[in-house]
Amino acid sequence: MKSIGRRRFVNGCAALSAAAFMPASFGQQLRKINFITPFGYLIGYAPTLNAQAGGHFAKEGLDVTVLPGKGSAVAVQQVIAGRALYGRGDPLAATKAIAEGAPIISFATVEHRSPIVVYSSPAKPIRNVKDMVGKTIGIAAKGSASDNILDMMLAMAGLPLDAAHREAVGNSPGGWGLIQQGRIDAHIVSIGTTTTLRESGEKIVMWNTSDAVAMPGQAYFALRETVKKDADVLLKALRAERASILELKKADGRAMVERMSRLWEIEGARQVDFTVVAMRDEEHLWWHDDTRKLLKNDPASWRSMIGAMLKAGLLKSGSPDQFYTDEIIAKL
């Protein structure tokens, strides 16, 4: 008899579990669609991962394959190429792609504050943009989200873009060593990096870049044609994601992480307690006590981001309505 691999067995069990959430019509054929993440399988993508693992997509008649991305720009390319019906990514990357002619549009906001933060040492704290003047700031890479956001923060503070020196040092906790050595004064990273440092017992000074420039943190995007022709499918996907978020908020974190880890190799998930903390840190970016705001686009944040991009020279022209739509989310 041919043996069944562990991952195939687990996926099969998950499919049976998901079936329990399906509507009354047991014979219903689930519609298969692909979704792409900005980067791999991270716990920050729990709204989508749990929507599939917990049967929320199935309840809406969907079977979603979650593809691992390799950066927001690549995720945009995969959606344009038709390999994914919709994707998630940095609104900056999606907006720049649209400005360059990409036929996509953002249709929902999953993180309402930026997942990009600034941290420094309490011995030499960098507490705001003006503290960065004349200092060396670590960024992930030239042209990265951290680099772009630094431009936007400086521009909106009325400072020249070269007011701070930049050093490309990646997006890992290793930047903390460079701060301690005095090679850089602060480091702009994703929130997962600072979670790692704090859970390791390091004392850091940290603030969210949205404190300097209000902006949507992560958005869902699709082809404009999909928004027109497959609006019902995108709406079903958002319903499932909303139900997933509500479940994640009240459920036991360990159980949720273990459930999702049965389907995907989630980064760091073998350290379950740490991964739960990381998920809760991300949750602050997408949770609203007013559940009516879940996944909704905040016009003020979008206006602020577009204005900062224009002032920093990241966009030549444009208004927010060119880059996002409420057409789908208004029906949620």
Question: Per-residue pLDDT tens for 283-330?
Answer: 989 877 788 899 999 999 999 999 999 999 999 999 999 999 999 999
Asked if the domains 6-113+217-303+312-331 and 116-211 are classified in one and the same CATH topology, the answer is yes
Amino acid (1-letter code) at residue 130? K
Residue with tokens 């930026």: 114
What band does 27 get if pLDDT is binned at 50, 70 and 90?
low
Measured CA to CA, the distance from residue 60 to residue 30 in angstroms comes to 9
Mean pLDDT, to the nearest integer, of 247-263? 96
Q: Give pLDDT, residue 288.
A: 72
Greatest alpha-carbon pair distance for the chain in Å reads: 71
Q: Are 132 and 138 in contact (CB under 8 A)?
A: no
pLDDT at 20 over 50: no
Question: Per-residue pLDDT tens for 172-182?
Answer: 999 999 999 99
Question: Per-residue pLDDT tens for 135-151?
Answer: 999 999 999 999 999 99
pTM for the full predicted model:
0.89
Question: Per-residue pLDDT tens for 49-73?
Answer: 999 999 999 999 999 999 999 999 9
Q: Give pLDDT, residue 291.
A: 84
> What number does CATH give the domain 116-211?
3.40.190.10
Measured CA to CA, the distance from residue 80 to residue 222 in angstroms comes to 8
| Chain centroid to CA 135 | 29
- CA distance readout (Å), 17 to 11, 20, 21, 53, 64: 10, 6, 8, 8, 15
CATH (one of 3.30.420.40, 2.40.50.100, 1.10.340.30, 3.40.190.10) for 6-113+217-303+312-331 = 3.40.190.10
Task: Report domain extents, the chain.
Answer: 6-113+217-303+312-331, 116-211
Mean pLDDT value across the chain? 91
Percent of the chain as helix, strand, coil, to the nearest 5: 45, 15, 35
- DSSP one-letter string for 142-172: TTSHHHHHHHHHHHHTT--TTSSEEEE--SS
